[in-house]
Amino acid sequence: MRIVAALGGNALLERGEPAESDIQEEHVLAAAEALAPVAREHELVLTHGNGPQVGLLAVESERDPALRRPYPFDVLGAQTQGMIGYWLAQALQNACGRPVAGLVSRTLVRADDPAFADPAKFVGPVYDRATAERLAAERGWDVRPDGAAWRRVVPSPEPVELIELPFVKTLMEAGAIVVCAGGGGIPVAAAEGGLRGVEAVVDKDLTAALVAREIGADALVLLTDVDSVQDDYGTPRARPIRDVSSRELRSRRFAAGSMGPKVEAACRFVEHGGKFAAIGRLTAAGELVAGTAGTIVHA
């Protein structure tokens, strides 16, 4: 099968962990071990989140006294693609013995996307409410609650096109596993004279669904840190959703900052001809591909 897998940024840096390089590399090694059986048997395109990492770089940039102004989010997104893409390419090639190519990728968005006026994408570390509100006042951030904690949010416009998609196809035809569209892709918009970067972080699950559709993937696998999508998540009434149609799934409500984009991505993929989408825990990647674990979404 031809598979697009999307690895959550929180799978590389768990909530509350210090953003140390060696900690993240240990998580990458675990991810590579989980993905290796899939990579040996199938064509694989891998994308990844970058919320914790891009938020960390943004904080570092803002604090750097040598800079007149912080680096913009499109540049920070490119930096995370290089860092995480390198870790994933090296670990996955070592684990499965196949060539892996990491591709710095740009995602076209619309400059007039309403998301620019409604920041909703969580980035960076978690804070208590008082600290988050203080930082928002000091630094001009937008902040929102993320579960019991608070985090910074930035605009997350809709992905329209992956600019490097032809090169993804070329690398696949050459037999490579491709790591691309990290962090949803570097956000760029049409401008006079060509393309320009914009201040945003694109949702990686929605970009993964776009890439999966464009390359004719059989399956879209969204890897996270929970076993499945749940009804009434976080309550005593919570129960897993195992096999579901996109229509049924769309009739339910899910948090916009966490499971919501995964559900939307899965539904879009199967509604545009994909065989199935799977949402579940990274360590069950092989079972998700086989349809025996997680939430399996069909048209």
C-alpha–C-alpha distance, residues 85 and 91, integer Å: 10
169 noted as active-site residue: no
Both structure tokens of 146: 């993320």
204 noted as active-site residue: yes
Catalytic residue (choose from 8, 9, 182, 185): 9
The stretches of 215-258 forming alpha helices (DSSP H) are 246-250
C-alpha–C-alpha distance, residues 19 and 29, integer Å: 16
Q: Across the chain, where does the E strand assignment appear?
A: 2-7, 43-48, 100-102, 106-109, 121-127, 142-146, 149-154, 161-162, 177-179, 186-191, 194-197, 219-224, 230-231, 239-240, 243-245, 276-281, 295-298
**For helices 165-173 and 204-214, angle between their N-to-C axes, nearest 10 degrees:** 60
C-alpha–C-alpha distance, residues 152 and 193, integer Å: 32
Catalytic residue (choose from 8, 185, 262, 294): 262
Catalytic residue (choose from 121, 182, 183, 274): 121
Catalytic residue (choose from 8, 51, 185, 204): 204
10 noted as active-site residue: yes
Both structure tokens of 126: 């978690």
Give me the active site residues, please. Answer: 9-10, 121, 204, 262
